[in-house]
Amino acid sequence: MAERPEDLNLPNAVITRIIKEALPDGVNISKEARSAISRAASVFVLYATSCANNFAMKGKRKTLNAGDVLSAMEEMEFQRFVAPLKESLEVYRREQRGKKEARKDKDKKADSEEQDKSREEENDDDDERMEEEEQNEEEEVDN
């Protein structure tokens, strides 16, 4: 758990970026307002986490999952966030699947390249052996 209450706050840089993205260009926000938004966001995240944790505990689990968070949003009466969260979750899962498949493809390609390389080395070794045998045979014929 956090040692100080400030440890529970979200990073100021993240809060500032979110605020700037939400406001139209040319609109400034005071330091006090930014601090208040930061505290409110931190409280929201802690409350959502606590509610999601309750769902995980009811399921006799120690790990929170996406379903717990979605259920928590409904329990907290933030139903309007459930659909966008589900969409974002699906996009995230597709990206992760794509990365996983790309990694598998890369590994397969690397494996096949290694196999090709080892085959080439074996062929080179075979060629060298054949050349040596030919030279030995020529030497025997000369003798």
| Domain residue spans of the chain | 1-77, 83-142
Residue 96 pLDDT greater than 80, yes or no: yes
Nearest to 66 by CA among 43, 48, 42: 48
Average pLDDT, the chain: 85
Average pLDDT of the residues in 18-40: 90
- pLDDT score at 137: 66
Q: How far is the C-alpha of 21 from the C-alpha of 27, rounded, in Å?
A: 11
- pLDDT score at 63: 94
Structure confidence at residue 1 as a pLDDT band (50, 70, 90)? low
Classify 1-77 by CATH class.
mainly alpha
DSSP code string of 69-133 = HHHHHHHTT-HHHHHHHHHHHHHHHHHHHHHHHHHHHHHHHHHHHHHHHHHHHHHHHHHHHHHHH
Q: How far is the C-alpha of 30 from the C-alpha of 28, rounded, in Å?
A: 7
Of 30-34, 91-95, 101-105, 107-111, the least confident: 107-111
> For residue 75, how many other CB atoms are within 10 A of its CB?
14
Average pLDDT of the residues in 61-73: 94
Please report, for residues 5, 40, 92, 94, 95, the alpha-carbon distance to residue 99 in angstroms, rounded to integers and kept in the order given. 37, 34, 11, 9, 6
Tens digit of each residue's pLDDT (9 = 90 or more) over 132-143: 777 766 666 665
